[in-house]
Structure 1
Amino acid sequence: MLRKSLYCALLGLLVSSAAQAADLKIGFVNVARLLEKAPQAERAKKELEREFSPRDKKLVAEQKSIKAMEERLTKDASIMSQSERDKLDRDLLNRKREAKRAQDEFREDFNLRRNEELTQLQKEIFEAIQTLAKEESFDLLLTDGVVYASEGIDVTSKVESKLETGFKGSKK
């Protein structure tokens, strides 16, 4: 008798859990797609390009200049005096060092700024996801680590719309 009542109680618990689970509203958001396609991502890319393009052009020009010096040294070494060759070697070595230092600084500065922009974008995406979840009464929105999500629960396009609306509103 005890076993039968325990079985009934367990069955009742399972049935009520299944009924509650059927009422859950679950969705999925592809954050990687948003990081790529959101208008804020394009804005950040253009801003980084605008900010770092002049320095990049200077570095490229310096590399070309160094290459020209190397070619001159190779081509004219036999007709140069030893002191001229030594001076050109020193100048070349100093310019290479300076160019490497400038390239390293550029890379560090660019990475810092890119990370700042990425952090800001991730914050905006997170806020858009939370807003959508509250407005549409989701019980659970999943992002990373999902192996499969049907199109019926993929709300990435809705989050993207929220980001676009927020982007247009911030441009005014």
Structure 2
Amino acid sequence: MDEDLIERAQNGDRHAFGLLVERHYDFVHSIAWRWSGHAVDAEDIAQTVCLKLAQAIRTFRGASRFRTWLYTLTVNAARDHQRSQSRERRNAANYLADPTSDAANDNHDQAEALWAAVRQLPEKQGDAVLLVYGEGLSHAGAGDVMGCSEATVSWHVHEARKRLKILLGRETV
């Protein structure tokens, strides 16, 4: 079904483009949220992706799956957004929950701390972790998105795990 909508959107059919955006908006938003860690930023990134998609849809040639191409478009928009934010906004302390929160929020707090630590990783390591654990892609699928081999993704994930242990205070240097 996407193929038909893509072709129609590439030919200027606004209704088809709207349906395509509607079908994939939640996917784009969830990626944006994982990358940014903030609902407001995720919404901004998702809107940016929709605008970029309107311009870029004509360049989609089907060499990869549409969802993989859209994922890459979203990741690039998220990176651009992060670059435009101040260092204070990206500081991991801003992502941690209030320490007085009750026990019901502990799992959420731990997840927030983990994703905040992931955002501190070097770019390729963070990409690999987000693709494999955040999006559930295989190492081969992540390699397709990142433009590298499956083995390289595995190496980035391995290195990221070591750094995350340090960043989360579970291991000393």
- Which fold has the larger relative contact order, with Cα–Cα distance below 8 Å and residues 6 or more apart in sequence? 1
TM over 0.5: no
TM-score normalised to the size of structure 2? 0.28
